[in-house]
């Protein structure tokens, strides 16, 4: 009989949940790929200057992420960019940090240092090697592999530390979790996120991209400008439903009982179910009152 201590048991359970995960690459443009696995979608730019990795999912997948990058002709990432602080986007930082320069918005470093994670995630301060060494308050531009990569902070959206990454020459944008394609999003109200703020940010982004721009969402399939427009319309229309009911004096439980128009049913089949989305809308509107 083998007896596992609490720490070993936690490690075993954490690893076993990733046993069947495969890292799959989808080409977006020359040298630019979307990697899918168990967390938020990653972006990888491979070229003569090296590798830029956008987000890194979970530590348990680091070896498979390295292997996937290797199959694309790349080595250890020169740069690792975190679009925000959530563990399904930064969980591999410690695995890559020794060989990569980590960049992120100022608030990402602050939140990783604090160690607080949403939705019951393990609260544990990140080790030094997992912290961004270059941070910015508004934006930063990388000139790398023949690309002009504009990394722009959008405030009070998914969190208070979100970055959206514009690949100018390839006409590709990595949205981070400012976009959940075809599903209700998680908006982290505890970390400065706000639905109305997200709506405003998406309007700015829509005005900045073209009809042929390809979008890598934080979650969901490779997307288009029209997909982003539909996502924003969902935010606007579902928020309007909840606001109308709140203005009529309805409680959160009454709003959840009434639900949303059936046209949005399929959007609740993802990670965030309809009841959870209604709770988010309700509390976000309360925050704005």
Position 116 pLDDT exceeds 90: no
Tens digits of residue pLDDT in 173-216: 999 999 999 999 999 999 999 999 999 999 999 999 999 999 99
User: What is the tally of structural domains in the chain?
Assistant: 1
Instruction: Say what the pLDDT of residue 15 is.
Output: 56
Position 230 pLDDT exceeds 60: yes
288 in a domain, yes or no? Answer: no
235 in a domain, yes or no? Answer: no
Which H, E and C letters describe the chain, residue by residue? Answer: CCCCCHHHHHHHHHHHCCCCCCCEEEEEECCEEEEECCCCCEEEEEECCEEEEECCCEHHHHHHHHHHHHHCCCCCCCEEECCCCCHHHHECHHHHCCCCEEEEEHHHHHHHHHCCCCCCCCCCCCCHHHCCCEEECCEEEEEECCEEEEEEEECCCCCCCEEEEEECCCCEEEEEEEEECCCCCCCCHHHCCCHHHHHHHHHHHHHHCCCCCEEEEEECCCECHHHHHHHHHHHHHHHHHHHHHHHCCCCHHHHHHHCCCHHHHHHHHCCCCHHHHHHHHHHHHHHHC
Position 100 pLDDT exceeds 50: yes
Position 54 pLDDT exceeds 60: yes
27 in a domain, yes or no? Answer: yes
For residue 36, the domain's CATH number is 3.60.15.10
Q: Give the range of the structural domain holding residue 185, as residue numbers without chain letter.
A: 20-226
Instruction: Say what the pLDDT of residue 118 is.
Output: 78
179 in a domain, yes or no? Answer: yes
Instruction: Say what the pLDDT of residue 16 is.
Output: 66
207 in a domain, yes or no? Answer: yes
- Average pLDDT in the chain: 94
263 confidence band (pLDDT: 50, 70, 90): very high
Q: How large is the average pLDDT for residues 129-156?
A: 98
198 in a domain, yes or no? Answer: yes
């Amino acid at each position: 009989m083998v007896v596992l201590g609490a720490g070993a048991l936690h490690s075993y359970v954490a690893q076993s949940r990733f046993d069947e995960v495969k890292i799959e690459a989808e080409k977006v443009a020359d040298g630019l790929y979307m990697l899918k696995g168990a967390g938020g979608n990653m972006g990888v730019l491979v070229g003569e200057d090296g590798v830029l990795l956008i987000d890194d999912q979970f530590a348990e997948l680091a070896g498979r992420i390295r292997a996937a990058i290797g199959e694309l002709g790349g080595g250890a990432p020169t740069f690792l960019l975190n679009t925000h602080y959530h563990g399904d986007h930064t969980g591999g930082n410690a695995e890559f940090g020794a060989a990569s320069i980590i960049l992120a918005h100022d608030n990402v470093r602050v939140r990783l240092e604090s160690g607080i994670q949403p939705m019951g995630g393990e609260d544990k301060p990140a080790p030094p090697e997992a912290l961004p060494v270059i941070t910015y308050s508004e934006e930063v531009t990388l000139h790398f592999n023949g690309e002009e990569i504009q990394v722009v902070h959008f405030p009070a959206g998914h969190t208070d530390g979100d970055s959206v990454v514009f690949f100018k020459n390839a006409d590709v944008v990595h949205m981070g979790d400012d976009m959940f394609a075809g599903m209700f999003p998680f908006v982290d109200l505890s970390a400065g996120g706000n639905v109305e703020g997200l709506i405003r940010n998406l309007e700015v982004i829509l005005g900045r991209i073209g009809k042929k721009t390809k979008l890598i969402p934080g979650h969901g399939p490779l997307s288009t400008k029209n997909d982003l427009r539909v996502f924003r319309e969902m935010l606007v229309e579902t928020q309007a439903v909840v606001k109308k009911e709140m203005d009529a004096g309805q409680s959160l439980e009454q709003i959840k009982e009434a639900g949303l128009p059936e046209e949005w049913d399929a959007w609740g089949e993802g990670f965030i179910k309809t009841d959870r989305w209604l709770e988010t809308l309700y509390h976000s509107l309360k925050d704005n009152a």
